[in-house]
Amino acid sequence: MQDTAGGLTKINLDNELPKQTEEPSILVPKIEVLQENASPTVQVDNTQDHPRVKSGKTKKVWSIIMVLLLVFLVYNLVACFLVYQKGVKLASSLNQLSKDAQSKDLAKLKTSLEQANVKLNDFRVAYKLISWAKILPFAGPYVKDGDHAATAAKAGIEAGQIVVTTIEPYSDLLGLQGGASSVLGAKTGEQTTRDRIDFIVKTIPDLLPNIDNISAKAKIVSDEISQIDADRYPEVYKGKKIRSKIKAVQDLAIEASSFIVNGKPMLENAPYLLGMDSPRTYMILFQNDKELRPTGGFMTAYAVMKVDKAKFEPVSSNDIYNLDAQYKPSIRAPEPIIKYIKGPYILSQNLRLRDMNWSPDFSVSMQTFTNAISKLGVGSIDGIVAVDTQLLTNLLDAIGPIGVPGFGNFSSETDPECNCPQVIHELESFADIEGPIIWDPLTGKIILRPPNSDNRKKIIGPLMNSILANAFGQPKEKLPALFEAGFKSLIEKHVLFYMFDQKVEAAISDFGLGGTIKDYEGDYLHINDANLGGRKSNLYATEDVTQEIKIGSDGTVTKILTITYKNPAKHDGWLNSVLPTWVRVYVPKGSTLITSEGLDAKTDPYEDLGKTVFAGFFQLRPEGVSKVTFEYKLPFKVSKNYKLLIQKQPGTDGFLYSIKIGKRVEEFFLKTDKELKIGI
């Protein structure tokens, strides 16, 4: 280091350090000593912000985020308010629509549909503002449900508008007001009814395109509604049932869609059934549901009827025993009939005509029956229509009391002597006079019977004529009730059809009027009872059915089916007596019976009609209770959804069913076949 002129000289420290030749060099900073009064050179590293600068930027970012969050919050608050506001208006409009539909005023219904459609469109526009929430983990499913419901409502309203346009020409027949005037509006009496039927049949081709449109809309409703998980919602909210209402709407949508789809083939074949192209001849079988048999009741009488261009004309009526007397039995009877009915089966174990409706499938039973009667010359018919006493009661409810020349008056009013409709009491009085019936062992003819016990053949024809005459003579004010009575009887299986034309038979079966045992992918149940000599005890007997369904962790399904039979009435020795019953339970093919209880006699499980059958015998006494239980395992496993089809036995009248899966319970009266779909 040197002093030069009192100043500082630059010192290079590099020259003072030993050089390393073998070890890696270490970078050493160079220090420059500057002369006095010289300005130092400062090098600033700009790679990092000053703390104050950094803090400012952070605040700015957070400010932007907070503003965005505030905007987002305000947006959603406004969107939710709009959705709520539009939802309230839509709900009010839908409530008004429901009221106007019940008022049966087409003009009001049209207006309500238009207003509901406008309110629904407004709601859907507002709902799009919150559609983004579908991606959220908790709220998302509920937002999706709302979208499904709105889409279903849109299709439903459009279907309603098509329906109103379609039914307007038939408004007077359906008891609706405010429709366009029909060409039949000014007519009354018998001619009016016939003209209306003819008018309906002739306009069926015009209905079919509308049926296609309605069907398409109904399918959209069914598909959208079925995607809503009802179990996601509470049972009750603020005193109102929520979950059960959602399920009810889902069931109704599915049933309506199926009904409309299967209704089209029926409409297409209605002209054939009503003899519009050529006269038709039908055998009418009267099944006494008070003496219950597999297809609806004991075949007590029959009649022959012609239909020509929708005009019905009874030809003859007779007692089934008289037809049976001409038949030579050649088919061995089922063992339960031989063992428990006895009577003629003591003499011969071959099946009688009157017991040929043994198969629960009406078409199968009628194939056996028609093959037998064809040997007696009863072959010039186009099909068989079976009816039971409930049809008579329903029609008399609509028509009112009627008179039958030579037999008196008949009505649906309760007769205190039997606590049953008066018409039922009178028919049973004619048909079942107390006393033995004795058959000739060689000819099979009845050689001894109580006095007047064959009055069935005398009353059926006149009673039919009187009912038809009264039905066709009703003023238009009563026609809606008459139409409803007939429709109710059809869908509740109090009327069954078996047609020889295969196309027509297929249409009838698909619509549910053929009494067929259906194929089904899923769980299945059909309980079928046969009264084997218990007089008319089914007039009083009822049954409650419970199914306890247990689904294992691996999807295995085990069921406990309990049928509780009750007869609250006293023994009278005429209508009510001990009820010997052969019960058959049809379940999915391959099901395994674990145990059964409550049967006096039982058979091993067997297969019939593509199902596995559990069967046995028990007796129900007056003022008594009998309980039959079957525990069994299904032949398949379930994962996400459990499906069950329950088919009602014809002739029965709405027994109570209860389905239990875990904590969930479904209860209903089985009026028609019912399908259940339950998420697990």
Same domain for 321 and 240, yes or no, is no
Predicted confidence at residue 9, as pLDDT, reads 44
Share of the chain above pLDDT 70, in %: 84
pLDDT in tens, 607-649: 999 999 999 999 999 999 999 999 999 999 998 889 999 999 9
Q: Which amino acid is at 671?
A: K
Same domain for 307 and 181, yes or no, is no
Q: Is residue 44 part of a domain?
A: no
pLDDT in tens, 51-66: 666 677 788 888 888 8
Span of 230-234, 334-338, 399-403 with lowest mean pLDDT? 230-234
Same domain for 148 and 210, yes or no, is yes
Q: Is residue 16 part of a domain?
A: no
Predicted confidence at residue 178, as pLDDT, reads 65
Same domain for 74 and 217, yes or no, is yes
Predicted confidence at residue 484, as pLDDT, reads 87
Same domain for 315 and 436, yes or no, is yes
Predicted confidence at residue 609, as pLDDT, reads 97
Predicted confidence at residue 14, as pLDDT, reads 46
Same domain for 574 and 557, yes or no, is yes
Average pLDDT, the chain: 84
SS3 of 443, please? coil
Q: Is residue 567 part of a domain?
A: yes
Boundary residue ending a domain (510, 532, 560): 510
Answer yes or no: are the C-beta atoms of 647 and 517 closer than 8 Å.
yes
Predicted confidence at residue 8, as pLDDT, reads 45
Boundary residue ending a domain (231, 252, 273): 273
Quick one: CA dihedral 152, 508, 677, 241, positive or negative? Answer: positive
Q: Is residue 39 part of a domain?
A: no
Cα first-last separation, the chain: 94
User: Which residues neighbour 473 within 8 Å (Cβ) at sequence distance 6 or greater?
Assistant: 189, 190, 193
- In total, the chain counts a number of residues equal to 680
Answer yes or no: are the C-beta atoms of 543 and 566 closer than 8 Å.
yes
What is the CATH number for 378?
3.40.630
Q: Is residue 30 part of a domain?
A: no
Q: Which amino acid is at 127?
A: Y
Q: Which domain holds residue 244?
A: 53-273
Same domain for 290 and 396, yes or no, is yes
Flag whether pLDDT at 455 surpasses 80: no
Same domain for 553 and 656, yes or no, is yes
pLDDT band (50, 70, 90) for residue 442: low
> What is the arithmetic mean of pLDDT over 76-100?
89
SS3 of 299, please? strand
Q: Is residue 426 part of a domain?
A: yes
> What is the arithmetic mean of pLDDT over 487-502?
95
Which residue did the predictor score with more confidence, 356 or 10? 356
Predicted confidence at residue 197, as pLDDT, reads 67
pLDDT in tens, 175-188: 677 665 544 444 44
pLDDT in tens, 399-409: 899 988 878 89
* Number of domains comprising the chain: 3
Flag whether pLDDT at 34 surpasses 60: no
Q: Is residue 618 part of a domain?
A: yes
Same domain for 439 and 309, yes or no, is yes
Boundary residue ending a domain (273, 306, 326): 273
Predicted confidence at residue 100, as pLDDT, reads 84
pLDDT band (50, 70, 90) for residue 431: low
Flag whether pLDDT at 161 surpasses 70: yes
CA distance 360 to 651: 12
Residue 658 φ/ψ, nearest 5 degrees = -135, 125
Q: Is residue 500 part of a domain?
A: yes
Which residue did the predictor score with more confidence, 133 or 195? 133
The DSSP line for 209-259 is HHHHHHHHHHHHHHHHHHTS-GGGS-SEETTEE-HHHHHHHHHHHHHHHHH
Q: What is the pTM of this model?
A: 0.79
Which residue did the predictor score with more confidence, 564 or 486? 564
Same domain for 267 and 285, yes or no, is no
Same domain for 205 and 311, yes or no, is no
Same domain for 287 and 268, yes or no, is no
> What is the arithmetic mean of pLDDT over 524-541?
95
- Which range among 166-175, 421-430, 542-551 has the greatest average pLDDT? 542-551
User: Which residues neighbour 409 within 8 Å (Cβ) at sequence distance 6 or greater?
Assistant: 401, 402, 403
User: Which residues neighbour 56 within 8 Å (Cβ) at sequence distance 6 or greater?
Assistant: none
pLDDT band (50, 70, 90) for residue 598: very high
